[in-house]
Amino acid sequence: MKTGNRMQVAAIATIVVALTGCDVEKTKDGDVALPQYEVSKTREGDVTLPEYKVTTPDVTVDRKEVEVEVPTVATEKRTVTVPDIDVTTADEKKAGR
């Protein structure tokens, strides 16, 4: 698997865990007292919205081959320590797993 693909998989996995790994339970009701206002109309209104004719640009996307200089990178295998993450979801915690 290429490094770019690994990064995408890791990012997607992180988002999935963040969105599905939590269990939210409301433990206390909130209380909000908003101010009240009285508004009175001082005159009648008439609204005529402006009209616009918009001409958008035409955009053409194509491909062409060009020769460019690119750096090359040599790789080697090494043993490194990486994080090992174990996630226990809220549902699993409630079930005692």
Residue 69's pLDDT is: 94
Residue 77 has pLDDT above 90, yes or no: yes
Residue 17's pLDDT is: 67
Give the CB-side neighbour count of residue 24, counting CA atoms within 13 A. Answer: 4
Res. 56 pLDDT band, cuts 50 70 90: confident
Residue 74 has pLDDT above 80, yes or no: yes
Alpha-carbon gap, residue 21 to 15, rounded angstroms:
10
**pTM score above 0.75:** no
Res. 85 pLDDT band, cuts 50 70 90: confident
